[in-house]
Amino acid sequence: EAQVTQNPRYLITVTGKKLTVTCSQNMNHEYMSWYRQDPGLGLRQIYYSMNVEVTDKGDVPEGYKVSRKEKRNFPLILESPSPNQTSLYFCASRRQGAGVNTEAFFGQGTRLTVV
Amino acid sequence: RKEVEQDPGPFNVPEGATVAFNCTYSNSASQSFFWYRQDCRKEPKLLMSVYSSGNEDGRFTAQLNRASQYISLLIRDSKLSDSATYLCVVNGGWGKFQFGAGTQVVVTP
């Protein structure tokens, strides 16, 4: 089954304690990205990757890091989480390009609370 | 101006009625378009791609108007299960998708 898997689904942590949210896809997609979703603001892109070892900032990259060492994995790292990073996070993957077969597939989301 | 704009709603629709709403985009070079459905605090799921000539999938019809730079979604014979937020997604090409903030639809008995 084609899927994007995120872990953990729920996480409560304290300010400053480094954490990693994992994301893995089994569709051999080149393109992967991370979003955060906050009430009234919609989905905002944090980072994206167009292929292995190729990553770039999205709209709200401050406070986040990513890596793409393998095609299937794209972890999101918060080196020093702060309360304003409390949010719902989604990982997504899709084929590269701009045609109609480039729809994105989303992970189930990670609800992060930083206290 | 946001790159993709949607009326946030909510659109309150009686069961069995028709509802339609639009999404405007600012990048005239955008090449592909999608409607996603998102249930409360769950992941967005693809509802349908939007083709240049318009397309239909059961009770759902999507249209693209490149001249005026908008896409539309029409839901016929609304069901209670259609209650959700509908996200407009625009693929501008090399790089990232642009998401609208979503249109909330509430179907009432």
Contact B64, B47 (CB under 8 A): no
The set of residues, in sequence order, having a beta carbon less than 8 Å from that of B75 and lying 6+ positions away, is: B13, B18, B19, B20, B59, B60, B82, B105
C-beta atoms of A104 and B97 within 8 A? yes
For residue B42, what pLDDT is reported?
95
- Residue A50 φ/ψ region, left for φ over 0, alpha for ψ in the -120 to 50 degree band, beta for the rest: alpha
For residue B29, what pLDDT is reported?
86
Q: Compute the distance between CA of residue B40 and CA of residue A111 in angstroms, rounded to an integer.
A: 13
For residue B95, what pLDDT is reported?
58
C-beta atoms of A42 and B46 within 8 A? no
Can you read off the two tokens belonging to residue B76? Answer: 């016929």
Q: Compute the distance between CA of residue A66 and CA of residue A94 in angstroms, rounded to an integer.
A: 17
> pLDDT tens-digit profile of B38-66?
999 899 999 999 988 889 999 999 999 99
Number of C-beta neighbours around residue A86 at 10 A: 16
Can you read off the two tokens belonging to residue A75? Answer: 């972890």
For residue A54, what pLDDT is reported?
93
* In chain A, residues 9-28 whose CB comes closer than 8 Å to chain B: none
Residue that has been written with the tokens 């639809």 in this structure: B105
Is the pLDDT at B94 greater than 70? The verdict is no
Is the pLDDT at B92 greater than 90? The verdict is no
Number of C-beta neighbours around residue A29 at 10 A: 21
The CA distance from B33 to the nearest CA of chain A, in Å, is 7
DSSP conformation class of A73: B
For residue B85, what pLDDT is reported?
96
Q: Mean pLDDT, 10 residues at a time, over chain A (115 residues)?
A: 94 97 96 93 92 94 98 98 98 84 93 98
Hey, what amino acid is at B93? G
Q: Compute the distance between CA of residue B102 and CA of residue B46 in angstroms, rounded to an integer.
A: 13
* Cross-chain CB nearest to A107 (options B34, B43, B94): B43
